[in-house]
């Protein structure tokens, strides 16, 4: 048994040595072809066409996985009905034209932002965007990673202002539902399909705070619909549920207006003959309430329906005006009930 085993081992050595030497030659040939990564990248992009999708000549669309990280929500403006946010947008897709298995000693390439224009990237845009910008301090905040299996990761940092149609019937105790819509601008579902990433599709900063709102709920969904020329465009949406904090309005409007109403009731304790004091107090409270109502409405859009704060301010104004009107009525009745002789004596004593 021992001689037979030695003979078999001796016969297996030669094929093993042959494949080892062949692999070394292949590796050396690759290394000689691309001594630097710059030369490799130029060779990879020599016949690459960045004007067509990766599946342009395929019967299926290019699937682009999208994920968002909300860094901050800067403002929610009721007057212009929009919200401003800062976020990171990450898009991932597969481009078989960029595969480089084993051609260089790296599993992926980190490319400079200046090289992004040499690659095809999806034409993602925000449907309800008013204006936006890609940050460029100190360099454009974009990156592109190219993996050896053809996977491309494209990431950018964006600040944008998007439209949010608000219902202000319950203002300032309202809850607003805002959405951020994303679509492909020029490619239909036959060419590109956006879909949420399977891992962490939508995340946000843990300590995300706003001055007047609190983020109650954050969710993502698909919103595929009909676009130009009745063609179906792929669509993704982010829904934000914002609850307004009433503390600011409680301190600045509700409590002061309630105190002014109580102050107007002080005139009930004054003598009916104290005309200057009661008139001054009534007019002062009416003018103050009118001014507070004007200030409260000036920061809101000119909507045609009644808001909750309008009901409150109108009720307060009605109370202080009723106090002034009550004095006028009581004073008129008092002057009619007093006999003329008594009035004459009062006038003589006054002189």
Q: How many residues does the chain have?
A: 351
Considering Cα of 244, then 250, then 251, then 252, what sign does the dihedral take? positive
Omega before residue 138 within 30° of 0, cis = yes
Please give the structure tokens belonging to residue 224.
């595929």
User: Which pLDDT score, from 0 to 100, does residue 22 have?
Assistant: 40
Percent of the chain scoring above 90 in pLDDT: 49
pLDDT tops 90 at residue 279: no
User: Which pLDDT score, from 0 to 100, does residue 30 have?
Assistant: 45
Please give the structure tokens belonging to residue 208.
């995300």
Give me the helix-helix angle, 308-337 and 275-298, nearest 10°. 170
Task: Identify the three-state secondary structure at position 239.
Answer: strand
DSSP label at residue 41 = H
Q: Tens of pLDDT along 305-344?
A: 999 999 999 999 999 999 888 888 877 777 777 655 455 4
pLDDT tops 80 at residue 203: yes
- CB of 212 closer than 8 Å to CB of 248: yes
Integer angstrom CA distances of residue 328 from 149, 286, 322: 88, 14, 10
User: Which pLDDT score, from 0 to 100, does residue 196 have?
Assistant: 96
- CB of 313 closer than 8 Å to CB of 254: no
Residues 85 and 74: their CA atoms lie apart, in Å, by 5
Q: Tens of pLDDT along 84-122?
A: 999 999 999 999 999 988 777 778 888 888 889 999 999
pLDDT classification of 158: cutoffs 50, 70, 90: very high
User: Which pLDDT score, from 0 to 100, does residue 301 have?
Assistant: 81
User: Which pLDDT score, from 0 to 100, does residue 241 have?
Assistant: 96
Q: Tens of pLDDT along 114-152?
A: 889 999 999 999 999 999 999 988 889 999 999 989 999
Rounded to the nearest integer, the mean pLDDT of the chain is 83
Please give the structure tokens belonging to residue 119.
């690659």
Give me the helix-helix angle, 255-264 and 275-298, nearest 10°. 160
Report how far Cα 116 is from the mean position of its chain's Cα atoms: 26
CB neighbour class for 282 (10 Å; exposed up to 12, middle 13-18, buried from 19): buried
pLDDT classification of 207: cutoffs 50, 70, 90: confident
Q: Where are the beta strands (DSSP E) in 78-141?
A: 82-94, 108-111, 124-126, 129-134
User: Which pLDDT score, from 0 to 100, does residue 341 have?
Assistant: 47
Q: Tens of pLDDT along 13-48?
A: 454 444 444 444 344 444 445 557 778 888 888 889
User: Which pLDDT score, from 0 to 100, does residue 228 have?
Assistant: 52
């Amino acid at each position: 048994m021992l001689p037979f085993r030695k003979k078999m081992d001796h016969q297996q050595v030669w094929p093993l040595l042959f494949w080892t030497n062949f692999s070394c030659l292949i590796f050396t040939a690759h290394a000689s072809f691309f001594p630097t990564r710059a030369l490799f990248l130029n060779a990879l992009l020599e016949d690459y066409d960045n004007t067509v999708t990766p599946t342009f000549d395929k019967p299926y669309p290019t699937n682009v996985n999208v994920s968002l990280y909300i860094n901050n929500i800067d403002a929610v403006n009721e007057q212009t009905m929009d919200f401003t946010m800062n976020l990171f947008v990450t898009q991932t897709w597969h481009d078989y034209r960029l595969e480089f298995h084993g051609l260089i000693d790296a599993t992926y390439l980190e490319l400079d932002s200046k090289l992004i224009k040499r690659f095809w990237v999806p034409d993602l845009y925000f449907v309800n965007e008013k204006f936006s910008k890609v940050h460029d301090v100190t360099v454009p905040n974009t990156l592109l990673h190219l993996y050896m299996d053809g996977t491309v990761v494209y990431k950018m940092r964006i600040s944008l202002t998007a439209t949010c149609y608000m219902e202000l019937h319950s203002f300032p105790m309202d809850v607003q539902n805002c959405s951020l819509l994303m679509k492909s601008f020029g490619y239909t579902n036959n060419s590109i399909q956006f879909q949420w990433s399977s891992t962490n599709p939508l995340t946000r900063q843990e300590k995300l705070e706003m001055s007047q709102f609190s983020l109650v709920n954050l969710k993502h969904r698909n919103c595929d619909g009909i676009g130009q020329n009745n063609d179906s465009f792929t669509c993704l949406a982010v829904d934000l549920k914002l609850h307004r904090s009433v503390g600011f309005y409680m301190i600045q409007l509700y409590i002061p207006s309630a105190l002014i109403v109580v102050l107007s009731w002080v005139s009930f304790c004054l003598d009916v003959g104290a005309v200057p004091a009661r008139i001054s107090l009534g007019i002062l409270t009416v003018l103050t309430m009118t001014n507070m109502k004007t200030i409260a409405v000036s920061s809101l859009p000119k909507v045609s329906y009644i808001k909750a704060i309008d009901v409150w301010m109108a009720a307060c104004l009605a109370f202080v005006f009723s106090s002034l009107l009550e004095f006028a009525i009581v004073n008129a009745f008092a002057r009619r009930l007093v006999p003329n002789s008594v009035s004459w004596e009062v006038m003589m004593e006054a002189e």
